[in-house]
Amino acid sequence: MSDAPSSQRITKRPGDDPLLVVENLKTHFHIDAGVVRAVDGVSFKLDRGKTLGIVGESGSGKTVLSRSVMRLNIAENVETAGSVKYDGVELLGKSNKEMRDYWGVEMAMVFQDPMTSLNPVVKVGRQLTEHVRYHLNTSKKEARLAAIELLRSVKIPEPESRFDVYPHEMSGGMRQRVCIASALACGPKMLFADEPTTALDVTVQHQILNLLQQAQQDRFMTMIMVTHDLGVVAGRTDDIAVMYAGKIVEKAPTRTLFAQMKHPYTQALLQSIPRASNPKHTRLSAISGRPPDLINPPSGCKFSPRCPYAQDKCYEVEPELKADTTPGHEFACHFPVGTPEGDAAFEANMAAGKPQTLAAAGKLAATEDLVTGGAV
């Protein structure tokens, strides 16, 4: 494999429109305590053959967003609005029965915990053959051969002999390979991977991410990769969207995002990652507090109670997602990182001793990180 992102090596077929167009998507859950605004007005387009990373803290709405696009979370208490167009066809409003023509065949999902998509009491080979037969209507024998080929394609050694083992007899990494094989079984055009490696060790994570990227390139798939770790998507995506409290707060081509990030939340996420290249005991830059209550989110910018740059205006006026100068770069912030206004805001907060600003600068006792950002 080379380091070039997939899109640079595969020439886009001219005249192709985006495979996925999401507009003002809202997914709200009605519970006793109120309305959980898990996804609250998300719009993006995804071109064929591209990989989009979706990054954010726990509870920011990454999983609900991917499940909403695939129409997987159609529960009693859910209310979805907006538009999801896949290959030109509106998916919102389609019944589960209609969606069955899409699941597996057009779009498939790999989950964080492999056991959620594997049946623990059925041997892996049979799970795969049944899956293939359900969708592709082949003979038992053909399905078996197809399943063995699939296992081989996800680099499971000696697939014939692994055919008759139960999921619990495999390691976590092997199980995730089986899930990927199953997701690839019917040749989907679009693959969602929701934290596919969060439960795995670094060495296995590296293998699985390589495998996903290889599959994406070989099959010219369009991919959405969900993670809370910017390190996981840094070298493996064309674009990254950063989510906070149910909204996209910044989106850009991957290299632009890292080189010219404008949103303080993106910067905070990046700076909180420990790096092996830093000397031991390097003070980490922490994000104070925790994500907001999605039933009663703060007024103005939802990141304001934790933002090192926040000024009076931020507590009153919610910033809109708007285009930056670099093509494809959008962000929602009144005092962007790296601009004169942003620098002045940060300086002013440092001078005033604002706790979240001190924490970001690594100058706050860690016990006070919780003080901002809402009640216990």
Q: Which residues bind ligand ATP (CB under 6 A)?
A: 29, 31, 36, 38, 56, 58-64, 75, 228, 294
- What is the spatial order of strands in the sheet that 190-194 belongs to? 107-110, 190-194, 222-227, 51-55, 239-244, 247-253, 330-331, 322-323
Please, which of residues 213-252 interact with another protein by CB under 8 A?
A: 228-232, 234-236
What is residue 247's three-state secondary structure? strand
Q: Which residue in the set 63, 129, 205, 357 belongs to the binding site for Mg ion (CB under 5 A)?
A: 63
Q: Does 130 bind another protein (CB under 8 A)?
A: no
Other Cβ atoms less than 10 A from the Cβ of 53: the count is 25
Return the residue matching tokens 């901002």: 372
Nearest to 318 by CA among 328, 310, 308, 326: 310
Cβ of residue 243: shortest distance to ligand ATP, in angstroms? 7
Interatomic CA distance for residues 34 and 298, integer angstroms: 15
Q: Tell me, residue by residue from 278 to 297, as one string, x for binding to another protein by CB under 8 A and - for no binding.
A: xxxxxxxxxx--x-------
**Cβ nearer to ligand SF4, comparing 49 with 56:** 56
C-beta separation of 189 from 106 below 8 A: yes
Q: Does 21 bind another protein (CB under 8 A)?
A: no
255 in Cβ contact with 237 (< 8 Å):
no
In the bound state with ligand SF4, the residue whose beta carbon lies nearer, of 193 and 333, is 333
**What are the DSSP calls for 116-132, one per residue?**
GTS-TTS-HHHHHHHHH
Q: How far is the CB of 314 from ligand SF4 (least distance, A)?
A: 3
Residue 333 interface partner, choices Mg ion, ligand ATP, ligand SF4, none, CB cut-off 5-8 Å depending on type: ligand SF4
Applying CB under 5 A, which residues contact Mg ion?
63
Applying CB under 8 A, which residues contact another protein?
1-3, 57-58, 157, 171-174, 200-207, 209-210, 228-232, 234-236, 254-255, 258, 268-270, 272-287, 290, 365-371, 375-376
